[in-house]
Each structure stands twice: as structure tokens, then as C-alpha cells.
Amino acid sequence: MTENNISRLFNFPSLFKDESKLFPEYVPSHLPHREEQLNLLASYFNGLLNYNDFPFYRVICYGPVGTGKTAVVKFFGKLIADEASKRGINLQYIHVNCQIERTKFMVVRKIIESLIPNIPKRGFSPQQLLDWLIDYLEEENLRILLTLDEADYLIRSEADTLYDLTRFPEISKGKSRISFVLVLRDISLLYRLNESILSTLQKNMIKFNPYTSKELYTILKERADEALQSDVVNDNIIMEISNRVGYDRQGNGDARFALEILWRSVKIAEMKMLNKVTLEHVKLAFSEMYPGFNQEIIQSLDRHEKIILKAIARSFKNSEESSIPINRVKENYNLICEEYGESPRRYTQFWTYVRNLKNKGLINVQVKSIGRGRRSFISLDIPSEIIEKNLDL
């Protein structure tokens, strides 16, 4: 590369004003369509702003991925800590991601680290850390609002951590200095907890629904205004992404996914040295998220190929396996043919279709030796729900 080329490599004009505003960890200062959840949090935790009381609050926020749970609780944490400080109350907000901190020990250590950054990290037992924390809170007259985010992981691995947290008032001299928000995806996990925890937790639940296309439109528009140079995306682009991701349309209502598509679309336009994002870039961005997936290819399929693809998607939907034996696909294929009033093709023809799907890169076929025989298995690189949603039969 010549000197000139190298300097061009890093010096093309960026379409971003501030790229980080589209990153998943950024917490925007305005969260459209989440006013209700914020209001509920405020009403549940209002008592923390009372100087003399130390009531014990716990709230559950739940909903699928990308519905703004993390953004909302972080935003709320900052609001309430600011308000407390205005009122002369020592309140600190602490956010712990249980996907990273998976044990009680790690959670408590994380809390302590957030309070005192340079604390020695080794040489303490979990119980010592806990005692130390309780004394510290008392000495400093401090109260904490603790979020256990991605708590699904904690419940699966160490459910008794929650038990300890619910016992905090007893072990901390009657004053409850730690209140908490539990953030969960899978609400059914709660039933793994013991009854007494469950009954206290269940009273305050805040639900986060997947976003509709209209809601995503406002969200994307505001984030695009913050992140991009003006006129890089127009309304059509934002609308296309929101329609594809919106829960009421074809998508799963995941704002994180929608933001990533927006970010990718802009990157693609940038790499092509253009100053605007086109619909073509958006399509490319979607197909990059699912290599091998291409709307046009799916549309060009024979009807029976589509039915087989649907049968495969359906087989994966009800299964945790990474590959599915071909005879199970055939059974589902026969069922779907029946649903659509088609007569199922015989095995040889069925195989020809399967091979076509493989050649088009939509599915993988592996042959495994089992005992003395050999059996074929199908696997997918593309999420099955994406396939189902894009197949029209």
C-alpha cells in the first residue's frame, strides 16, 4: 500500500457523529415507550427517599431480550441516586450483571468493589465479605439500590443468593440498607425459588413487552439523531428496519437487534464511500446478521422446498438439539403438507428437495454413522424463527 492509500484508509469522512450512541451498552437520556415502567419503579422505590425509614423493597423486571430492561433500570438508578443526593440521603445505585458474576461471593465482591474501588480482592471468605459490607453500610449510613441483572443465571446456578438478600433486614440490625431489582428474562424460573422468597418477590412485577414496529420507529429515530450526521438515513430506512423487527410484524421486537442493523447499514454505506444509507444496505445488513439467509433465495424456492424448510424450522423450534434426524423432518413435512392440503412427495423426491436446500446454503446436511447404519441429520445456521417468519406458504 502506498502512503497515500494508507492515509485514505483511515481518513474517509464518517457518517457517524458519535458511533457509540448506537452501541448496546449506551443508556440514552430519553427512553420512549418506557414511561410506564419508569413510573412504576419510582412508585415502588419512593420510600428510599425517606430519611428515617429503612424499608425493604424488591421489584422484578421481566421480559425478553432487547426490551429495554437494562437501560430502564440503569436510567432509573441514576435518577433516584441524584434525587437522594439532593435530599441529603446517602443512596448508591449498583448494577451487577449475573451473567458475569455468577456466585454469591462474586456478587458481594462486586458490590464492595463498587463502593470502594481499591479494596484487596483476595483473602476474604464470602461470610467475611458480607459482614464487612453490613458494617460498612452502617458506619457510612449508606443505603443501596442493587440491580441483579440477567438474574436467570444466578437462579440457575445459586438460587440461595437471593435467599440471603431477602434476609438482609434480619442480619443488618433491623435496618434494611439494600433494596433490589431483579431483572429476568424467564419468569418461570421464579418457581424454582422457595415459597417465602417467591411470595415477597411476586408482589412487585414490572413487565417489558417486545417493541412494536411503531415503537421501534421512535426509538431508532431518536438514536439515529444522536449518532449520525444529518440526512444519512431517511424515514424510509428507519421504517424498513422497524417493520422488519417489530413484534407486530415479522420480528421479535428486540431493540438491540434493530439498533445493530441500523449501525451495520451505516457501516456498509460508509465502506461504499456513500453519504446516505439505501434500502439495499439495510437488506445487506440483515443478511450479514444471518449469513446464508437471503430473502430472494427463499422466495425462489419450489413450494415443497418451502414446506420442507418450514418443517425443519418447526422441528428446531420444539427441540434443544443442534441437529435433527431427517426422518423427523419428513414426519413434520407430511404433517404440514396435510395442513396445506398438499400431497406429500415420496422419499426420493423429498431427498432431491433437501439437497437443493443444502446447495442453496439454507441448511446443512451431515451423515453420521450410528451402529451399523448411517443416518442423515439436518442443522441450521439461521435461527429457525427467522426462517418461519420469512416463509410465506
Ligand X SMILES: Nc1ncnc2c1ncn2[C@@H]1O[C@H](COP(=O)(O)OP(=O)(O)O)[C@@H](O)[C@H]1O
**Nearest to Mg ion of 41, 237 (CB atom):** 41
Asked if residues 102 and 154 have their Cβ atoms less than 8 Å apart, the reply is yes
Interface residue with ligand X among 21, 58, 69, 314 (CB under 6 A) is 69
Whose CA is closest to 95, among 20, 190, 181, 162?
A: 181
CB count, 10 Å around CB of 194?
A: 12
Question: Which of 37, 41, 58, 67 touches ligand X by CB under 6 A?
Answer: 67
d(C-alpha 168, C-alpha 314), whole Å: 46
Q: How far apart are CA 98 and CA 106, in angstroms?
A: 9
Q: Does residue number 77 form part of the binding site for ligand X (CB under 6 A)?
A: no
Candidates 70, 166, 265, 315; binder of ligand X (CB under 6 A) is 70
60 lines the binding site for ligand X (CB under 6 A): no
Residue number with CB closer to ligand X (68 or 246): 68
Cell of 81: 441516586
DSSP 180: E
DSSP of 233-267, one letter per residue?
A: S-HHHHHHHHHHH-TTTTS---HHHHHHHHHHHHH
Residue 221 lies near ligand X (rule: CB under 6 A): no
Residue from the set 37, 67, 70, 294 that interacts with Mg ion by CB under 5 A? 70
CB 189 within 8 A of CB 156: yes
Is residue 78 a contact residue for ligand X (CB under 6 A)? no
16, 17, 19, 28: residue in contact with ligand X (rule CB under 6 A): 28
- The site that binds Mg ion (CB under 5 A) totals a number of residues, namely 1
Interface residue with ligand X among 65, 79, 159, 205 (CB under 6 A) is: 65
What are residue 355's phi and psi, to 5 degrees? Answer: -65, -40
* Residue with the CB atom nearest Mg ion in the bound state: 70
What whole-number distance in Å separates Cα of residue 89 and Cα of residue 66? 33
> Would you count residue 147 as binding ligand X (CB under 6 A)?
no
Output the nine-digit C-alpha cell for 180: 433490589
CB of 24 to ligand X, least distance (A): 4
According to DSSP, the residues that pair with 380 across neighbouring strands are none
Q: Is 68 in the site for ligand X (CB under 6 A)?
A: yes
Cβ atoms of residues 92 and 105 within 8 Å: no
| Nearer to ligand X among residue 22 and residue 380 (C-beta) | 22
Q: Are strands 324-325 and 373-379 parallel, antiparallel or unpaired?
A: antiparallel
> Does position 219 bind ligand X by CB under 6 A?
yes
| One residue of 15, 21, 34, 306 binding ligand X per CB under 6 A | 34
Residue range at the interface with ligand X (CB under 6 A); choices 31-39, 160-168, 321-329, 353-361? 31-39
Residues 339-358 that bind Mg ion (CB under 5 A): none
Here the cell at position 32 is 420512549
Chain residues in the site for ligand X (CB under 6 A): 24, 26-28, 31-34, 65-71, 219, 255-256, 259
Q: Which residues bind to Mg ion, rule: CB under 5 A?
A: 70
